Amino acid sequence: MPRPHPTACLALADGTIFRGMGFGATGETEAELCFNTAMTGYQEIMTDPSYAGQIVTFTFPHIGNTGVTPEDDETAAPFAAGMVVRWDPTEPSNWRSTGDLDAWLRRHGKIGIGGLDTRRLTRAIRNLGAPHVALAHDPDGKFDIEALVAKARGFHGLSGLDLAGQVSCAQSYQWDEMLWSWPDGHRRRETPGRKVVAIDYGAKRNILRSLASAGCDVTVLPATATADDVLALEPEGLFLSNGPGDPAATGKYAVPMIQEVMERSDMPIFGICLGHQLLALALGARTVKMNHGHHGANHPVKDHETGKVEITSMNHGFTVDSQTLPSGVIETHTSLFDGSNCGIRMADRPVWSVQYHPEASPGPQDSYYLFQRFARAMEERAPETV
């Protein structure tokens, strides 16, 4: 059977053009292009706020074959700008599925393109860095190639861009939903726990669920929360979430808050991903843009304090420059792929963070113990009751 004419087009800023079959919403979008090597969890990846401003190339060829379900959404709607896949999505075949990927993307206004040589595209990203691209879907297959390339070249990029404020919650709320478990699904916390304030720079639901499952009563505050906002709740611990964009840009308002909280309180502080980078900035280090970042569920990380290697889930395009870590801040974890920083802690206080995602979703759960460590740190500092 002859293949139908292409209905989608991916234009790179260098003029390279990829044509394929469109699915999801129609229209055009511009973004940075990255690739993700995870074999599962495309729905969780698309709804991770850390992907705001990015189109995701999935290296695993079979995307869409398990459909979608509301239980797997990390946020209310996908934040990734679009998706690129090898094979056109097929009809879903999974007992948990409540719909198909095509309709889900269309409902949320996100564009997909299938039938591309994702290996070639991934090599280009690795060799040349994450490119700026324009993605278009038109059922009639009519594209203005010159205009698409111009839009890709005109994309502002992620450097210097604060996206956390755009994806964060607008007001505070309580969180008591715990991790999914058979056969009850997501249960609610019913007993009191340690009071934690979580700053939402783009928090995934499974991070909040992990905190609740570790014994925390979680109050979520917007990214722009001040130290007064945090301390007024009298928390026993502060959590700094994942999120998108340039940490130096978000740090203009986040870093003063973190520094002031540390000046006025000795509570445990735990950060993940963007939260890790913001904590490092608050302690005096610097962050830099990576060539193509780390995106996947198979990244080996070495814990230098235990000698163990954890297989982790990652999603970041910026990294902490370990050469700029000040005295009193210890590098605890590094990537075994490229040696980049993956964790820090203060030598004299219960303050630490990691670059990777210990909640996974998708990915291995080698690092879930970090949530339990956070809970233990709060317990150890709690005053004894008679």
Q: Which residues are catalytic?
A: 273, 357, 359
CB 85 within 8 A of CB 135: no
- DSSP, collapsed to helix, strand or coil, labels residue 362 as coil
First to last CA, the chain: 79
State the greatest distance between any 2 C-alpha atoms of the chain, in Å, as a whole number.
79
Q: Which helix (H) or strand (E) holds 280?
A: helix 274-283
Sign for the CA dihedral angle at 198, 203, 209, 214 comes to negative
**Bridge partner residues of 52 (DSSP):** 80
Tokens at residue 219, please? Answer: 């109050």
Give the start-end residues of each E strand in 265-350: 269-272, 286-303, 309-321, 329-335, 341-346
Buried b or exposed e, range 13-27, using 16+ CB within 10 angstroms: beebebbbbbbbbbe
**Bridge partner residues of 177 (DSSP):** 188
Q: What is the 8-class DSSP label of residue 384?
A: P
Q: How far is residue 366 CA from its own chain's centroid?
A: 18
